[in-house]
Structure 1
Amino acid sequence: MQHDIHAQAQRAQAELQQAVARLDAARAAYQDGAGAQVGQALARQADLQRKSATADAEVQAADAAFRAAFEAAGFERTDAVRAAQRRKGDAQDLAEATRAALQRCGTHLGRDMIEASAQGRAYLWAHEKAYAAYARAQAHQAIAEAGAQIARAMALMAHVPLDDSGHEDWQGRPSPSEATAHELKAARSAFILQALTELATARPEYATRPHVEMLGACDLGPLTERELLTPGQVHMARHKLEKLATAP
């Protein structure tokens, strides 16, 4: 039995190492792949949004200047009016080109978000699986280190009748079945499991899942978990991109 306990602990450690390797691969795929592309696309979009707002403001200013110059010239096409008109036309061209670039950026960002959502969810899943493997490995290690001592205490208590149980036969008669005998013996040592549970709930790790150094944080970079597209949203995004691609 002792050999089995340590063998299980070794298998749990091996599974942990495999899970960490899968996590590292998923993290690299996301952070060096679609995650980085989304970050760049978001930065471009924010830059173009600022430039578009500036261009729109310039259109309004140029239009106001043109109207003022035209009125000052008695609604004649003077050189000053022509200059103001050229300024207005240039501003409108710039604003239109900026809006078109912003639209193209949005299309590219939509494609990047589809891929980033797939890679991001794979990354999140790998992180969850790695944490589960870590927790199991810690549990098996604790059993390997202290399990034998706790098990001996439970075995000793299996022969100590409960003082406040109606199931105990104080005349020493055997239990009617092997299953009943097992349940009774388990009940006699239940306080040990209860004490362990109380110790567990008092630890900070019970209230909040701890940061595990070997796993690292699950960093999605420019995105949050809530921003990752669901399968349904991915389907809708693909449909929208297909319509844009076939639009005249």
Structure 2
Amino acid sequence: MPTYRYFVQPQIDAKTNTIVSYELLMKQLTSQGWRLPESFTSIDPQIIADLLVETTKVLSLKVRRCSVNINREQLMTTPIAEAIIKSQKQLYPTKLIVELTEEDGPQKYSIEDLLPRLKSFVKKGMQLSLDDVGTGNNYFHEIQELLPLASEIKFALQNFNKEFKDPKIQQKIHFWHAISIEYGLRLVLEGIEDHSDNKLSNELGIKLKQGYYFSRPQLLNLPQDSIAV
């Protein structure tokens, strides 16, 4: 049976230079080392559910917020939805953030399909983050209905072929920065790779950041891992 673990990457508040959140990134152990699974949707939902519950138990009380990547297919899968609810209970008072990704699954779900489940999560104290805004299926008109429910949007520099200094990229960031202010959301800029990226993001008024400049994702061992897997 394949071995999966979550890696954690911190989210940094640039003004206080402190870690304010961890993002959980699932990886699979292969003969070449840890790699992203080819398809998250093809992983047995119960495996994801059990791993999420075990991982959040280890992380409880370590940080104010903790986000987990969930695609639409996983969101609508009962074992995973139940594990998300259980994880929030374990993490309390830390907030669990459901980071909705745009990875496609075999079944297509509309925003209308997702809303009841997302609303129930928010009612139970969780938060919603919209990942990869401005790319793929996450342009403004496609996610506009979700914005009033969200607490956070994430813009990933690594999704673009252009460099950060390209005016078109900065224009996109200005747009989403304005959207975040209009809807009262946190804006997280992902893909900060070096000092110049960090400096430019400061000039653009970005407060919350993620990227290799601060930390690469680190393996989170579980109690049953007698040695590092």
Q: TM-score range by the shorter chain?
A: under 0.3
Greater share of strand residues, 1 or 2?
2
Greater share of helix residues, 1 or 2?
1
The higher-RCO structure (CA 8 Å, 6+ apart) is 1
Highest Rg: 1 or 2?
1
